[in-house]
Structure 1
Amino acid sequence: MLKIVIVDDEMDALEALEWKLNRYIGDVSIIKCDKAKDAILQINTTKPDLVFLDIEMPEMDGFTLLERLDYREFQLIFNTAYSDFALKAIKVSAIDYLLKPVDKDELIEAVNKVKKLQKVDKDHLIEDKLQSFLFNLNKQNEKINISADGKVYLLEKNDVVMLKSDKSYTTIYVNNGPNILVSKTLKEVEKKFSFSQFFRVHNSYLINLSHVKEYLKGFGGELIMSNGMTASVSRNKKNELFKRLDLN
């Protein structure tokens, strides 16, 4: 039996997809979630084989939901009417999607692909695909979107100097702009910065290499950034940093 979680804030869409799965696929166990927070709990608890996920939801979008999951060993199909650039990124990342309203034949084909992938190793599960997707999504959309303070900030990647962790919070330091405090860990926020110019130099620091002004020698060393702030460098990141900055 295929264990499935469907996530969509529209109850009509949930029920329509549930009906089609029962009618055309069969031998399925389905949990419906119309709230993102409930979906996170259900996915982490029930460990489904397949998740159908809407992208645009009021509480949090589908991308944020994926980032907050502890359990990711499932196949993913976006069920969406999202913009073309996102669909292109999804396609390149080998994550499947179905456009609303869901076509019966496309649904059958997508689920059959999932059943085949259940027999292969975990390299085909969502963890690697998600990282690839977020990278490709950022390549399509040069602005980095950050949700904080009831707003969505659209940041130019070259304007971001560094990110600093403070337990479950992260501060984003922007050149010639206000700092942004995000109520997520640096590990969660880092996924938005999948560009070659950003480098995690320490557990507490993600820096923009183009804003490095000085390197201070030491056990791991410290970086002086363009805004005058310092960022510690972990010893195990030092060699890679030197390569990225072309230092001797």
Structure 2
Amino acid sequence: MSECMIKIVLIDDTNDAVETFKESLRRWNPNENFDIIKCTNFSNALNEIKKVNPDVVFLKSRKIAQKELNFIDSLPKKEFHLIISLVVGYGDWNPVRLTDLPLTGRTENTNLTYQSVDKINISADGKVYFLNRSDVIYLKSDKSYTTIFLSRKRKIVASKTLKEIQKKFIFPEFYRVHNSYVINLNHIVEYNRGLSELTLSDGTVVSVSRRKKNQLLEILQLERKS
């Protein structure tokens, strides 16, 4: 169990927001402790952010309009992650795996992350690619470059480290199983317990590090070998 209490400001005007949010967080962050403060409007949220210095601010919204932009512009210059989750209609949303974020006390960097419904934007080769999450099979590190492997045998090479590129892949289906690999959990087709290896939908075999093995088994709801 982590000794670090992650302070969260949640901006959501639904009645059962906190319990739903906690349930989702526990699923993807089983070893973390949370202190969640719910705010139903931007004014209250700004006051709480200034007062408690949160690690992460979650905002659920159906669109990015002027009031959302004004809120972002008015945020204090503090070290925290702002994650905006766009939802369609009254659908629920999936929070990120917080252990994949460099939170306050674990890094000196401040990060503003925009989480859309399905698209991930990647800059490479002088272009900006908008990728469907379901098309991304895995990411592979190659020193200062990262190769993104997609369905239909496509790939994109970005001139950034895997650590930098991973900040774009904040969705819960993406998991770093090894220093060199981030995989899409939805593309796993086989797990070899003896070798601690995953086979992905394109036939790629990826090793799982010892440090990541137990948490991966929990996520996949697999029993550990006695």
Query: Which TM class, normalised by the smaller chain length?
Result: 0.5 to 0.7
Contact 1:147 1:153 in 2 (8 A): yes
Q: How does 1:50-199 map to 2 (within 5 A)?
A: 84=64, 88=68, 91=71, 96-97=72-73, 123=104, 130=111, 133-134=112-113, 137-138=114-115, 140-176=116-152, 178-199=154-175
Structure-2 separation of matches of 1:177 and 1:84: 34
- Report how far residue 232 of structure 1 moved: 1.1
Q: How does 1:210-229 map to 2 (within 5 A)?
A: 210-218=186-194, 221-229=196-204
Equivalent position of 1:200 in the other structure: 176
Q: Any idea what the Cα deviations from partners look like across 1:99-157, whole Å, max 9, x if unmatched?
A: xxxxxxxxxxx7xx55xx69xxx949x95752xx31xx11x353100000111110011
Equivalent position of 2:211 in the other structure: 236
Equivalent position of 1:18 in the other structure: none
Give the superposed CA RMSD: 3.3
Equivalent position of 2:46 in the other structure: none
Please identify the structure whose Cα radius of gyration is greater: 1
SS in 1 for 2:216: helix
State the identity as a percent. 47
Structure 2 alignment gaps of length 5 or more? 1-62, 80-102
Distance 1:128 1:150, change over 3 A: closer
Contact 1:163 1:172 in 2 (8 A): yes
Contact 1:85 1:141 in 2 (8 A): no
Q: Any idea what the Cα deviations from partners look like across 1:45-83, whole Å, max 9, x if unmatched?
A: xxxxxxxxxxxxxxxxxxxxxxxxxxxxxxxxxxxxxx9
Contact 1:164 1:205 in 2 (8 A): yes
Aligned residue pair count = 138
- Report how far residue 168 of structure 1 moved: 0.8
> Greater strand share, 1 or 2?
2
The amino acid across from 2:130 in the alignment is L
TM-score when scaled to structure 1?
Answer: 0.49
- Report how far residue 84 of structure 1 moved: 3.5
Structure 1 alignment gaps of length 5 or more? 1-82, 99-109
TM-score when scaled to structure 2?
Answer: 0.53
